[in-house]
A and B are shown apart, each in its own frame.
Chain A
Amino acid sequence: MVFPEDISAVGHHVDDLFYLALGLTTVAFVLVIVILAYFLIRYRSRPGHKALYTHGNTAKAFGLTVFLALVVFVGIDINLAIHDHHAWEATWGTVPVGDVLRVEIQPQQFAWNIRYAGKDGKFATEDDILTINELHIPVNKPVIVALQSKDVIHSFFLPNFRVKQDAVPGMVTSLTFKAVKKGEYDIACAEHCGLGHYRMRGMLTVEEEDDFNQWLDAKSLQNTPDMTWGWTWGEGK
């Protein structure tokens, strides 16, 4: 297994893109190395063997190299770019609408502050539900996470969804994903943020919607409101 388990709806686009790139570059690499090895053996210096005097400056030689370079460019680069376009549209390019779970996260040195909107559906209000490092989401429901760092740059990384997004102080960034499998998974910080960067681990729990709502209710009972952070959804600070 090259990749960690993919529990997302669209993360396979990333894996597919990788395998396509791997296949194409491996073909190119093997071709080049085979030719290189062949040249090294066939044209090694030995008695009676003379080198061919040519500058390779003819139009034919130049044309051949340009042609081969363009084959590589179109066959690999453009190919990948086109597939990337489709992958982008499927992953980052569309904002989910309708029944979506929205979460605000404020990473800090060295923990993830997580905020749910609560019963009123609005953020930065008294009934918001807050956790530290515990992100629960219902399975099969799109999630949009909005991020804004409290101090330095952090990066919200979900390896099992193939997505990450830097959290920057002074501005809001966001990402979207949808889980199709239940379980417990890691949230990692992927931008060096100081001496505790290595232990800035969060826990993502994917569960049935009913279980999720139960958990949220239980949390709201223990909750103490925190108005020191949080922002109106869709706006900045």
Chain B
Amino acid sequence: MMNQKQPTIKSYLGIFGWLVVLTVIEIVAANLGLPKLALAIFLVGTALAKVLLIALYFMHLKFESGLIWWIPGIPMALAVFFVLMLFPDIVYHLTNKY
């Protein structure tokens, strides 16, 4: 539980550094004129990486009991389900039509 090493100022600065680097990479990638799908996959990846860094270190999730992951985990799972259920109607327009 809380017996893990607590984060140090140095580690915070390190995470900060990574966040800045990732941001710069994102801006560069967006200006390369990549095909949309490739860019989307890349940006979702970098955004996910940044989100994890913030959540794990700044929001302290890495240093809490593992059980805490249920708290953000459940709404995120429900969120994914909800958005996916919108796809047939809203994205693919597969509404009831003969």
> Which chain A residues have a beta carbon within 8 Å of chain B's beta carbons?
95, 144, 146, 165, 168, 171-174, 176
Contacts and interface: CB of A to CB of B under 8 A. Distances in A.
Q: For chain B, what secondary structure do more than half of its interface residues adopt (helix, strand, loop), or is it mixed?
A: loop
Contacts of A176: 98
B91 to A, nearest CB: 13
Q: Give the interface residue-count category, chain B.
A: under 10
A9 to B, nearest CB: 17
Contacts of B97: 146, 171-174
A174 B96 CA distance: 6
Contacts, number: 17
B95 interface: yes
Residue of A95, A146, A172 with most partner-chain B CB within 10 A: A172
17 contacts: A95-B98, A144-B98, A146-B97, A146-B98, A165-B96, A168-B95, A171-B93, A171-B95, A171-B97, A172-B97, A173-B95, A173-B96, A173-B97, A174-B96, A174-B97, A174-B98, A176-B98
Contacts of A172: 97
B31 to A, nearest CB: 35
A143 to B, nearest CB: 11
A168 B95 CA distance: 11
Nearest to A174: B98
Given A171-B95, A171-B97, 15 more contacts: A95-B98, A144-B98, A146-B97, A146-B98, A165-B96, A168-B95, A171-B93, A172-B97, A173-B95, A173-B96, A173-B97, A174-B96, A174-B97, A174-B98, A176-B98
Contacts of A146: 97-98
B92 to A, nearest CB: 12
Contacts of A165: 96
